[in-house]
């Protein structure tokens, strides 16, 4: 049974805690690979104004993390 603290992602129930850990690990991976926040946002197919309002030029890792969490929440 699915409640407010779990979501179905790729045919599997994922808890809020798991989503947080997945997000954190993805961000750490991108940072270790010297990926810029702008490249990460492009990889996630986030429109330039969706998160930052000013486009990708001013995006930081917090913006990318919020986009990942929002994507999870909207799933």
| Cross-strand pairs, 12 | 9
Instruction: Tell me what pLDDT residue 25 has.
Output: 92
Q: What is the dihedral of CA 32, 37, 43, 49, to 10 degrees?
A: 170
Using a pLDDT cut of 70, give the percent of the chain over it: 68
Is 25:48 a contact under the CB 8 Å cutoff?
no
Is 69:63 a contact under the CB 8 Å cutoff?
no
Please report where in the chains the tokens 């790729």 appear, as a residue. Answer: 10
- CA separation for the pair 20, 23 (Å, rounded): 5
pLDDT digits (tens, 9 = 90+) for 28-43: 999 999 999 888 888 8
């Amino acid at each position: 049974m699915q409640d407010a603290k779990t979501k179905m992602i790729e045919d599997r129930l994922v808890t809020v805690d798991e989503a947080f850990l997945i997000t954190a690990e993805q961000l750490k991976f991108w940072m270790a690979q010297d990926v810029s926040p702008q490249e990460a946002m492009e990889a996630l197919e986030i429109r330039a104004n969706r998160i930052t309002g000013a486009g990708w030029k001013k995006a930081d890792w917090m913006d990318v993390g919020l986009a990942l969490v929002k994507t999870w929440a909207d799933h």
